[in-house]
């Protein structure tokens, strides 16, 4: 007979099994209800009971003990501030296991583990409200973007139309003035007076020094 051999190996090494239960504890505290196999749910139940008991005790030492198992600060905060205060009048039995049908693939026994005060209808209503709010926010953002895009296009077209109408109303004189202004703006900058660059044969530099005979340079 087997004595003093509590717990299941679940076909995993010790490190893998601890990591598995750490993730399941975090998910159970976050969502307050998870679906898993029946052996895992049975081994997870005493662990979550201990976590809730530490949450009820409170204090820095208890929080650090929980952080050794669940290293997520937000999850631990929810355990101490939201879940544990709900069970102050109970001395144990914070969770329950509900059996489900076998898994189609391998025939494993499935189960749901949840807190005893978990309200399915209330949680579903909260999810619906959150989803509706997210959709409304998304639609409002899309409408704002469409308005901005359409407003920019309309502003440009109206501005161009108004400019063309003004030019037509003023007549050809206004158009001639605009053309003169453009020519003045495009006119090159005048060179300084009093300076003339020395000229030489075409293509042989300024002083005519080429290979085919350029102008001679006078020396003093």
Let me know whether 20 and 99 are in one domain. Answer: yes
217 found inside a domain: no
d(CA 14, CA 20): 10
- Calculate ∠ Cα 124-130-136, nearest 5°: 135
Let me know whether 112 and 48 are in one domain. Answer: yes
**Overall pTM > 0.75:** no
Instruction: Give residue 69's pLDDT band: very low, low, confident or very high (50, 70, 90).
Output: very high
211 found inside a domain: no
Mean pLDDT (whole number) for 37-61 = 95
Let me know whether 64 and 18 are in one domain. Answer: yes
d(CA 190, CA 165): 37
Residue 215: how many other CB atoms lie within 10 Å: 14
d(CA 30, CA 11): 26
The pLDDT value given to residue 86: 92
Structural domain range at position 176? 125-185
In tens, the pLDDT along 120-154 reads: 677 777 778 888 888 888 888 888 888 888 875 45
Closest CA to 48 of 117, 110, 113, 98: 113
Closest CA to 78 of 89, 63, 65: 63
173 found inside a domain: yes
The pLDDT value given to residue 155: 47
Q: Residue 205 has which token pair?
A: 């530099």
- Calculate ∠ Cα 118-86-35, nearest 5°: 30
The count of structural domains within the chain is 2
198 found inside a domain: no
The CATH number that applies at residue 23 is 3.90.1030.10
Let me know whether 70 and 109 are in one domain. Answer: yes
* DSSP reduced 3-state for 29: helix
């Amino acid at each position: 007979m087997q004595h003093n051999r509590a717990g299941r190996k679940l076909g995993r090494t010790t490190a893998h099994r601890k990591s598995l239960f750490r993730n399941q504890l975090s998910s159970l505290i976050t969502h307050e209800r998870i679906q898993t196999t029946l052996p895992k749910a049975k081994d997870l139940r005493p662990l979550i009971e201990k976590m809730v008991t530490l949450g009820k005790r409170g204090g820095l030492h208890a929080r650090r003990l929980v952080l050794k198992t669940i290293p997520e600060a937000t999850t631990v905060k929810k355990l101490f501030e939201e879940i544990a205060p709900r069970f102050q009048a109970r001395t144990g039995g914070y969770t329950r296991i509900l059996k489900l049908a076998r898994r189609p693939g391998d025939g494993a026994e499935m189960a749901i583990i949840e807190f005893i005060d978990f309200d399915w209808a209330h949680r579903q209503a909260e999810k619906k409200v959150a989803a509706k709010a997210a959709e409304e926010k998304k639609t409002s953002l899309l409408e704002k973007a469409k308005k901005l895009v359409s407003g920019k296009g309309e502003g440009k077209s109206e501005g161009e139309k108004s400019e063309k109408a003004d030019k037509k109303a003023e007549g050809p004189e206004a158009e001639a003035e605009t053309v003169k202004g453009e020519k003045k703006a495009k006119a090159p900058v005048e060179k300084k007076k009093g300076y003339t660059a020395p000229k030489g044969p075409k293509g042989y530099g300024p002083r005519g020094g080429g290979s085919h005979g350029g102008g001679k340079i006078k020396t003093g």
